């Protein structure tokens, strides 16, 4: 207890000594880097007192030095601020120091980028460097823990693939395991959409997420909708479409045997060899098992790491699909068939609906009757009549794609 009290008093004295630097404002900028991560850490000092710490994860190549990382960060970060502190402290002097200072000064107050060699600023940098050492330990521990979880997920996924009869060579040793997952969302068959999420290792790759409006399937047909989404995704890959070329090591379907069977019909018809398994839920909507095409299941209760991994993916694809469906459904709720008619804008549409009360009544009206609406002239009336003549009630046109493709394969 006495030892801890002494350490606390000494630490308090040291902090007070190095933070009471007149009333100066400046920032301290460091870069941290290992084989997996790169960070820039900013310590703002205001009125002579250390006022916190901000950490920024950045993109950096193996060849990027910490000095260059700091220089790039300074240019990007301070370009967003109208007020820049008069001094920025760094560990190493940047190669383009004069240009950097000129850029930061912007013709107004002089801004200096300096490496303190002695005095209170040097003492403050030493103190913040101790904080960085603790932060580095935490980052390394987290990275080590994450790599271990990734290794366990990879090993358990390999076991699952082996039990399902898939070749172990389908995974990429030494690279993040890439998984794609798909889900369908609609409201009683209306505004059906498909969602695709991507994970590499334990991390979602949100730039590779994709959303699909269902084009060729009418009504609440999840299997057919799923097949359309998969066909469009992998057909785009075969055509070399940018954004679709990276292939997954495995497809995890949100669902059971039915979804797996439907997906594999498309995968095989396209000549692909990608493992597909389902994620079955229990009565409480939690992922309980991995499901194969033949109905065989692997209970995840004995695979704790894989249980959490699959649960995370299933929740994410479900969230992504529902979010897109809700936005599309809300948008379409305010849309009328009249919006598709050339020359009919929001005012004419609203005037027509106010006068005739329904789209069906507008459909049946003659051109002379349509012109009873003050905002509808002869040209607009002719456009409305021509549109409804070309689009009879109850007739819908669906595009070509998965439906025809699957019929050809059968």
- Under-70 pLDDT residues of the chain: 7-22, 34-37, 62, 82, 107-108, 136-148, 164-175, 187-191, 285, 325, 328-336, 393-410
Give the whole-angstrom CA distance, residue 175 versus residue 23.
51
Region at 174 (left for phi over 0; alpha for psi -120 to 50; beta for the rest): left
Of 182, 157, 181, nearest in space to 170 by CA: 157
Of 258, 256, 208, nearest in space to 233 by CA: 208
Q: What pLDDT shows up at residue 19?
A: 47
3-state class (DSSP) for residue 272: coil
Region at 201 (left for phi over 0; alpha for psi -120 to 50; beta for the rest): left
Beta bridge partners of 239: none
Task: Give the ranges where 106-184 is alpha helix by DSSP (H).
Answer: 119-163
Give the whole-angstrom CA distance, residue 149 versus residue 306.
10
pTM, 2 dp: 0.49
Backbone angles phi, psi at 20, to 5 degrees: -90, 75
Pairing state between β 203-204 and 190-200: antiparallel
CB 399 within 8 A of CB 216: yes
């Amino acid at each position: 207890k006495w030892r801890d009290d002494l350490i606390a008093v000494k630490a308090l004295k040291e902090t007070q000594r190095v933070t009471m630097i007149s009333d100066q404002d400046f920032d301290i900028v460091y870069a941290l880097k290992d084989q997996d991560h790169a960070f820039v850490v900013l310590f703002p000092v205001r009125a002579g007192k250390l006022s916190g710490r901000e950490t920024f994860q950045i993109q950096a190549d193996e060849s990027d030095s910490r000095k260059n990382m700091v220089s790039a960060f300074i240019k990007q970060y301070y370009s967003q601020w109208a007020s820049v502190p008069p001094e920025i402290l760094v560990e190493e002097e940047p190669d383009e120091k004069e240009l950097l200072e000129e850029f930061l000064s912007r013709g107004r107050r002089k801004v200096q980028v300096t490496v303190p060699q002695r005095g209170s600023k040097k003492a403050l940098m030493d103190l913040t460097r101790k904080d960085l050492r603790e932060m580095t330990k935490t980052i390394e521990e987290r990275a080590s823990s994450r790599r271990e979880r990734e290794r366990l997920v990879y090993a358990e996924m390999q076991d699952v693939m082996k039990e399902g009869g898939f070749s172990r060579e389908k995974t990429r040793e030494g690279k993040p395991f890439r998984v794609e997952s798909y889900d369908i969302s609609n409201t009683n068959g209306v505004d059906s959409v498909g969602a695709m999420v991507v994970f590499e290792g334990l991390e979602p790759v949100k730039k590779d997420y994709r959303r699909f409006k269902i084009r060729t399937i009418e009504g609440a047909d999840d299997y057919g909708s799923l097949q359309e989404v998969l066909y469009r995704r992998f057909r785009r890959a075969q055509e070399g479409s940018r954004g679709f070329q990276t292939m997954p090591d495995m497809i995890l379907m949100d669902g059971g045997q039915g979804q797996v069977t439907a997906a594999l019909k498309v995968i095989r018809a396209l000549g692909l060899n990608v493992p597909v398994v389902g994620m079955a839920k229990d009565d409480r909507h939690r992922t309980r098992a991995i499901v194969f095409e033949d109905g065989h299941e692997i209970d995840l209760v004995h695979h704790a790491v894989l249980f959490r991994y699959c649960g995370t993916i299933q929740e994410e694809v479900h969230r992504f699909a529902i979010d897109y469906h809700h936005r599309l459904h809300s948008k379409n709720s305010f849309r009328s068939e009249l919006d598709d008619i050339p020359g009919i804008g929001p005012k004419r549409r609203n005037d027509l609906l106010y006068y005739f009360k329904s789209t069906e009544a507008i459909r049946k009206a003659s051109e002379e009757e349509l012109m009873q609406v003050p905002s509808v002239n002869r040209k607009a009336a002719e456009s409305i009549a021509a549109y409804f003549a070309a689009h009879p009630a109850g007739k819908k046109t669906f595009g070509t794609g998965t439906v025809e493709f699957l019929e050809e394969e059968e």
